[in-house]
Structure 1
Amino acid sequence: MLNLKKLMNKPFFLLIYCFCLFQSISFAQQKVWLDSDTGNEMDDLYAIAYLVKVPGIDLIGLSSAHFNNADLNVFEKWNAYETATLKPVEESQRLNEEILAAMGRMDIPHPLGADRQIGRAWGQQDPRDSPAAQAIIAEARKMKGEEKLHVLTLGAMTNVATALILAPDIKDKIRLFSLGSWYTPESQAWNKSEFNIRCDLNSFDYLLNLEGLDFTIMTTTTSFALKFDRDETYARLDENVAIEKILADRWRVHNPQDKTRVMWDLALVMAYVHPEWATVSSVMTPPENTPRVVQVYTEIDADKMREEFWRLLKES
């Protein structure tokens, strides 16, 4: 039998033990802010439900993001929504509150985000202030020493970009993880023709150009690997459990025709929580942006992510 007391008398093992303890405490105290365009598709809901349940994560905020896009102006329907009456950020906000209530976590602050992009259709960087941006600023300013607020964005990056424009002093207090764009590692080619980026290209360009910002990007190229099967998902979800019923209903109402769905947002959240299941590469920004290095997820272990999602969701 391993005698921990004797091992602790040996300097080497004592050093290893203290290091592991420090790492555990450091992770347990990590403050995380999640920004989500929850009303857009269905995978946001799965990502939020997962992150809320992760032990050791101090989720200090869940803000709503808009998903304004050109289709809302020219088509009558967006998924199951009537576009004539749809207010994107308000729908994201409604769902955020519904999820938190179902999980008994209304104690997590959940401020409303901006209702449109920064700047205008032709560019510019005029901030789009909101309760969400102000809350991110306030939390970032609470960070002490080398501590950083980890911000995860699942949709348009308007809220975090606005926070950084309004309060440049928080740049060194934020570590940003965002879902957006396509990137091909073999050719080192970027493609910004992607939904989240199209919803606020100005914000993405601002963040890419912001020298010194610690920026990690989950591209849709990489997150495409994480897919859920519709029938398996229905079978696994227990609709007697409030949050699981919400997840089932979201697929059933908004995407019933899809036999599989890419879980874009869940891929980012799970890669963040389990970095051992993801490969991160240092990459130069696109040629039209300020030349600097950002981090890009280039590979994920989708099988392990699927398995872990279901394990944690079912954990009491």
Structure 2
Amino acid sequence: MHKVIFDTDPGVDDAMALLFLVRHPEIDLVGITTTFGNASIETTTRNALYLKQQWEIDAPVSKGSGDKYAAGEEIHPFPNHIHGDDGLGNIGVPDVVDVPLDPRTAQQFIIETVKAHPGEITLVAVGRMTNLANALKEAPEIAGLVKEVVIMGGAFDVPGNVTPAAEANIHGDAAAADAVMTAPWKVVVVGLDVTLKTAMSRATLAALAAKGGAAMQLLDRVSQFYIDFYDDEVTDSMVVHDTCACVYVVARELFTTRSGSIRVMTDSVGEGKTLQKPDGMRFGPSVWDGLPSQLACVDVDAENVMKLVEETLIRH
């Protein structure tokens, strides 16, 4: 069993990723921490509570920071045109969800849970890296206690999706992402290099909704607005970005990785660009010296990833 803390900004593809984690038999979801990104921190936290309620999820929800890692940095506009004004495809999520929050902040929840289960917790982060960076800053010792950090974000050998240089999750808090990439823990980056190869059609979602009960029926409704947005890129389908990171946890053999230190550009036209120095490349003395070697996913068996996603989503 993989003990997972899911750091998320629900978000339509976040919702699919959450249901995958809930329904996969090898995942023990021990907590959900929220971050801003697809919507404000208030909206993403409300959405996490709503999904917890609707899907009867036992894991606690803890609210993260609504500010970027570097004090005073301006937050980029939220992508309402992708995820809807309510963050969940404009399905009419109630303004207030009567489900209690965990009293701890997201960074406190991460720190305390990691320390309570040394070497066992996998952090799956599919939004801004702010909570992880804040947890590291408050308790740097957790880097040696976390089993693994699996991130949906970044673009190494392909263009970004919010600028030519950057993918949205990394661009949204580049300083936090750089802090996470360069910390002395094991990081795997599941970015656009692989996620853009994975898509689920509207027809497949409808078929899964017919088999997967009320939970899948809700996911199908949530996803329609998102599919409409993606229609120019993947016809009548949605890219399953965040779910790819969850699949990596249980089926890493479906991914091809490249090892090497990773940095994130934090300003100018390259803000949010992820760069990797592959292991074995030699340069003169530079800011790349002494950094931990991390894994970047560069290819994927998309057919079998999607087969696993579909099989998992309809489990009861």
Question: How far did 1:122 drift?
Answer: 6.0
Residue 79 (structure 2) aligns with: none
Whose radius of gyration is greater, 1 or 2? 1
Which among 227, 232, 242 is matched to residue 265 of structure 1?
242
Aligned residues: 253
Residue 142 (structure 1) aligns with: 116
Query: Aligned partner of 1:199: which letter?
Result: G
Q: Is the 8 A contact 2:34 2:48 kept in 1?
A: yes
% identical equivalent positions: 22
Spell out, residue by residue over 1:227-246, the C-alpha distance to the aligned partner (whole angstroms, 9 max, x if none).
11123322331398321122
Which among 10, 35, 38 is matched to residue 10 of structure 2?
38
Find out whether 1:108 has 2:59 as its counterpart.
yes
Q: Structure 1: where are the runs of 5+ without partners? A: 1-27, 69-86, 124-129, 186-190
Residue 177 (structure 1) aligns with: 150
In 2, distance between residues paired with 1:287 and 1:32? 25
Which among 23, 38, 51 is matched to residue 21 of structure 2?
51
Residues 1:194 and 1:249: Cα distance change in structure 2 (over 3 Å): same
Q: Is the 8 A contact 1:197 1:204 kept in 2?
A: yes
Question: How far did 1:280 drift?
Answer: 2.0
Residue 91 (structure 2) aligns with: none
Relative to the length of structure 2, the TM-score reads 0.73
Question: How far did 1:207 drift?
Answer: 1.6
Residue 96 (structure 2) aligns with: none
Residue 123 (structure 2) aligns with: 151
Question: How far did 1:247 drift?
Answer: 0.9
Question: How far did 1:268 drift?
Answer: 1.0
Question: How far did 1:290 drift?
Answer: 4.2
Query: Aligned partner of 1:134: which letter?
Result: Q
In 2, distance between residues paired with 1:169 and 1:43? 32
Question: How far did 1:60 drift?
Answer: 0.5
Report the more deviating stretch, 130-139 or 226-235. Answer: 226-235
Question: How far did 1:254 drift?
Answer: 4.4
Question: How far did 1:56 drift?
Answer: 2.7
Structure holding more helix per residue: 1
Q: Is the 8 A contact 2:182 2:263 kept in 1?
A: no
Residue 139 (structure 2) aligns with: 167
Residue 305 (structure 1) aligns with: 305
* SS, match of residue 140 in structure 1: helix
Q: Structure 2: where are the runs of 5+ without partners? A: 75-103, 159-163, 266-286
In 2, distance between residues paired with 1:139 and 1:114? 18
In 2, distance between residues paired with 1:310 and 1:287? 33
Q: Is the 8 A contact 1:113 1:132 kept in 2?
A: yes
Name the structure, 1 or 2, with higher relative contact order (CA <8 Å, separation 6+). Answer: 2
Residues 1:303 and 1:260: Cα distance change in structure 2 (over 3 Å): same
Find out whether 1:197 has 2:170 as its counterpart.
yes
Q: Is the 8 A contact 1:239 1:248 kept in 2?
A: no
Which among 246, 262, 283 is matched to residue 285 of structure 1?
262
Question: How far did 1:121 drift?
Answer: 5.9
Which among 22, 40, 43 is matched to residue 91 of structure 1?
43
Query: Aligned partner of 1:181: which letter?
Result: G
Report the more deviating stretch, 226-235 or 161-170. Answer: 226-235
Spell out, residue by residue over 1:158-206, the C-alpha distance to the aligned partner (whole angstroms, 9 max, x if none).
1111111011121101221111111129xxxxx8511111110110111
